[in-house]
Structure 1
Amino acid sequence: MSAPTVLLLNGPNLNMLGTRQPEVYGTATLADAVAVAERAARDVGVELTARQTNHEGQMIDWVHEARGTVAGIVVNPGGWTHTSVALADALVIPEVPVVEVHLSNVAAREPFRHHSYVSPIATAVIAGCGILGYDFAIRTLAERLSNR
């Protein structure tokens, strides 16, 4: 029996982690965040596929392709969290649990960041833990998958 596959999706500007607003997002890079997720995935026995894009259509295509191929999705939608009904609509298509993760505590930031189009469809939301949130997200998703 093969291990379940989890898709880790990172949205716009996350490729700039480590240099973009380190006072908000920290100095860790996207590669560091993915490495945290990969370690957690190994620990809990899931396969991980990680992707990042600055193009909303690409993200939506990846979500569509996930239908029937992954057991769950961890997503850091970045700015699309607050703007993309299309991404939220797409995330229900694979019919798998979704964990939303944010490096910063979006609820403590600018008012426009307080609303998420993704949160209502997410199994869990993890925010404000820096790249450790990726570890929590993978472990949370694996726990939910094992209880199915």
Structure 2
Amino acid sequence: MLLNDRILGVAALVVAAFLTWFGWRLEAPFAYEPVGPRAFPLLIAAIIALCGLRLVFKGGGEVEPNPPGANARIAWMVACVAGYALLFQWLGFVLATTAVTVLVARLFGATWLQGLLGGIGMGVGCFLLFDKVLDVVLPTGLLGNLL
């Protein structure tokens, strides 16, 4: 078993512990669902903890190193997700989702036009699905009353 597997497993257990601590404290001001808001983070924490335990005790085996440039793309992907989280409320769901989709599409080799078309489709399509069909309230941000 590689030491890297154990380190990743321990890191996963730390993330699972943080999610459990954060999720356990979530309470809704009024009951709108039978399970409440803490169910999702606790479920995700349990899954991450199980995967972390497997890595700590069994390992994942030998893997090839990342190809050249992959680590930079991974770092950019993390930056895109962090930017999405930071700008989500201010820009709104449609603009933030469009922007992050364009950037991620570029990371995977799409042209600017392909990324923009996919981003607009993803942002508007998911907004309509969640906000209008599933009745999940999403922030409109800069688009305000246009949506």
* More helix, by proportion: 2
Same fold, TM exceeding 0.5? no
Q: Larger Cα Rg: Structure 1 or Structure 2?
A: 2
User: With CA pairs under 8 Å and 6+ residues apart, which has the higher RCO, 1 or 2?
Assistant: 1
TM-score, normalized by length of structure 1? 0.26
